[in-house]
Amino acid sequence: MTATPDSATPPAAHRVIEPLYAEILRRNQGEKEFHQAVREVLETLGPVLAQRPEFVDARIIERICEPERQLIFRVPWSDDSGDIHVNRGFRVEFSSSLGPYKGGLRFHPSVNLGIVKFLGFEQIFKNALTGMPIGGGKGGSDFDPKGRSDAEIMRFCQSFMTELHRHLGEYTDVPAGDIGVGGREIGYLFGQYKRITNRYESGVLTGKGLGWGGALVRTEATGYGCVMFTAEMLRSQGDSLDGRRIAVSGSGNVAIYAIEKAQQLGATVVTCSDSDGYVVDEKGIDLALLKEIKEAGRGRVSEYAERRPEARFVPGTGVWSVPCDVALPCATQNELHEADALALVRNGVKAVAEGANMPTTPEAVRVFQEAGVAFAPGKAANAGGVATSALEMQQNASRDSWTFAHTEERLAEIMRHIHDSCYTTAERYGSPGNYVVGANIAGFELVADAMLAQGLI
């Protein structure tokens, strides 16, 4: 596979990007999600490399693609029957050019180094786009929390933090949640960090509980931010979300709050899903019921259809055959394929925004772009979560806590800023309306300029 620079890329930049990508494949063998994330960024950087040859001379891309530090460690723990398990923990500290490493922890059996590196790489540019002083990192474990008791989750989190704590710090590396890591896990992780270090260092983790250093709106921020970004994209086309029909995938943290904000803005969300299948509810998802099943009961979406006669459960497949005006993939990477994109376009989709990280395959992105569908990549559309984490760090540092309304207004401002910077950067570099180009170049320039200023790092 090659990284084929897009048509706006001058030939000289082709000569830089192609061998560089080949070298990345050679040095990071088997890490297919990382390759995909790097390729998607490199393909769009041609115009900026042509205008800013100092980035090429300083080998900024080679440096950005190599994490500053990669940690892999053993996580032993015992289950409720006393049986011993051994999982693998990861933390990839990718870039500290703009601030302490910042990015979530994922607990899911699919986690491996390639997945953590793809997420960490994306995080560098996403965090830059927020305009906040945060670098990029990501971590997690191949631990599967499904079906585990609270006590087992706690013992796992304590063992994980027993190793990870020595690499963290409010000025060093600040993790948060991701798939499989929510408020409960952050609580157990924070408790163990505090116990080992004897420091009440609130700013070392974000997504904390509201009574002990957490920030209002953090829980809602990724989903809310994704819908705010979508509203900005539609606004730039003289349109709005009011009265629109929306398909959401997933039913975790991001999906639930994307549904909530979309409903607040007058849209009807007709789907949600988990890895067992999806529900379609033509009357609009009953969010109170969904929250009860997923947040309180940690149950499955199939239960939603059992309890709501208007809804139908479709097992074993994704939501994308359901007609909609706006699609918000909010579950996981590579969940929206070319055939799904073709179906969505056939059914008249107008905008797609990634609530999840890299949920849309490159072939599907191409289908949307060729059909003129407004497409927002995750590094822009789901940056509201990490931006609000940075607001949580700000509140921790000043020992203050802000109101919901104030914090939500800050989030809305940040999402507008990200939208506008992607939009204007895409125009400036000859790809108007292309949010992928805009997000990649705007994020890259901020990090690359900081690296140039900070010497050979």
Classified as helix, coil or strand, 329 is strand
Burial class for 190, CB neighbours closer than 10 Å (0-12, 13-18, 19+): buried
Which residue has its beta carbon closest to ligand NDP?
Answer: 252
The residue type at 11: P
Q: Which long-range contacts (CB under 8 A, 24 or more apart) does 62-65 make?
A: 62/20, 62/23, 63/451, 63/457, 64/95, 64/124, 64/444, 64/447, 64/448, 64/451, 65/20, 65/24, 65/38, 65/121
Per the CB < 8 A criterion, the answer to whether 154 and 195 are in contact is no
Least distance to ligand NDP from the beta carbon of 341, Å? Answer: 17
Among the listed residues 322, 394, 397, 333, the one whose alpha carbon sits nearest the alpha carbon of residue 365 = 333
Contacting residues toward ligand NDP, per CB under 6 A: 177-180, 222, 250-255, 274-276, 330-332, 355-357, 382, 385
Least distance to ligand NDP from the beta carbon of 255, Å? Answer: 6
State both tokens at 40. Answer: 């998607």
CB nearer to ligand NDP: pick between 112 and 162: 112
Least distance to ligand NDP from the beta carbon of 61, Å? Answer: 24
Least distance to ligand NDP from the beta carbon of 119, Å? Answer: 6
Among the listed residues 402, 55, 383, the one whose alpha carbon sits nearest the alpha carbon of residue 217 = 402
Classified as helix, coil or strand, 314 is strand
Q: What are the two backbone dihedrals, phi and then psi, of residue 246, each rounded to the nearest 5 degrees?
A: -125, 140
CB nearer to ligand NDP: pick between 55 and 375: 375
Least distance to ligand NDP from the beta carbon of 184, Å? Answer: 11
Least distance to ligand NDP from the beta carbon of 178, Å? Answer: 5
Packing angle, helices 384-397 and 218-235, rounded to 10: 130
For residue 354, how many C-alpha atoms fall within 13 Å in the half-sphere facing its CB? 27
Residue tagged 């999906």 (tokens) = 255
The CB density around residue 316, as the number of other CB atoms within 10 Å, is 8
- Total length of the chain: 457
The residue type at 194: K
Going by the DSSP 8-state scheme, the letter that residue 270 receives in this structure is E
Strand 245-249 to strand 326-329: parallel, antiparallel, or no bridges (unpaired)?
parallel
CB nearer to ligand NDP: pick between 242 and 276: 276
CB nearer to ligand NDP: pick between 47 and 185: 185
Q: Nearest 5 degrees, angle CA 347-CA 350-CA 354?
A: 105
Residue tagged 């950087």 (tokens) = 45
Out of 102, 117, 126, 138, the active site residue is: 138
Q: Is 138 a catalytic residue?
A: yes
The CB density around residue 350, as the number of other CB atoms within 10 Å, is 18
State both tokens at 366. Answer: 């191409």
Q: What are the two backbone dihedrals, phi and then psi, of residue 175, each rounded to the nearest 5 degrees?
A: -75, 170
Residues taking part in catalysis? 138
